[in-house]
Structure 1
C-alpha cells in the first residue's frame, strides 16, 4: 500500500483513472484514460502524483497538440512523438 498525501493514511493504492487536461495553449481540454493515480481507501481521494502531473505537462509542451484527439489513453499520449528533446524551462 501507498501513503495518501491528503489524509496520511497508509490505506491507499496505486491504480488508474480518467482525467480531463487542458492543453497548454488553453484551446481545449482532452480526456486521458488509464492515467496513473493514487486511490485512498480511507478518505476516498483519487489524485495524480506530482511526477505524473509533470510527465503529462512536459509531454504536452513537447508535442504538436494540433492533432491530439479529444480522448486517448495515457499510453497513447506518451507515445506521441516529441518535437523537442526536453522542456528547457523546467527547472
Structure 2
C-alpha cells in the first residue's frame, strides 16, 4: 500500500483505469485503457498521478495522433513512434 495524495492515509493501491483525453488539436477525444492509477480504500479517491498524466500529454504532442484508433491502451500509446525524442517546449525539469 502507498500513501494517498488526497487523504494522506496508507490505504492506496496501484491499479489501472480507463481515461479519456481530448487531443491537443481539439479534433476528437481518445479512450486510453489500462492507464496506471491509484485507488484509495480510505477515502475512495481514484486518480492518475501527475507524472503519468504528463507522460501521456507529452506523448500525444510528439506522435502522429491521426494514426491512433478511438481506443488505445497506455502501453500501445507509449510505444507509438515519436516525431521528436522529447518535448522541447517544456522548459522546466
Instruction: Report the TM-score, using the length of structure 2 for normalisation.
Output: 0.94
Deviation at 1:50, TM superposition (A): 0.7
Runs of 4+ in 1 over 4 A off after TM superposition: none
Instruction: Indicate the SS of the match to 2:36.
Output: strand
> Which segments of 5 or more consecutive residues in structure 2 lack a partner in the other structure?
none
Matched, 1:43 2:43: yes
Question: Any residues of structure 2 matched to 1:9-88 within 5 Å, and which?
Answer: 9-88=9-88
Quote the Cα distance in structure 2 between the aligned partners of 1:42 and 1:23.
33
Cα displacement string for residues 1-46 of structure 1 (whole angstroms, at most 9, x for unaligned residues): 1111111111001110101111111111111110000101111111
- C-alpha RMSD of matched pairs (Å): 0.8
- State the TM-score, normalizing by the size of structure 1: 0.96
Distance 1:23 1:68 in 2: 11
Question: What SS does structure 2 have at the residue aligned with 1:56?
Answer: helix
The alignment partner of 1:60 has SS state of helix
In the alignment of these two chains, the number of paired residues is 91
Q: Which runs of 5+ in 1 are unaligned?
A: none
Aligned partner of residue 51 in structure 1, secondary structure: helix
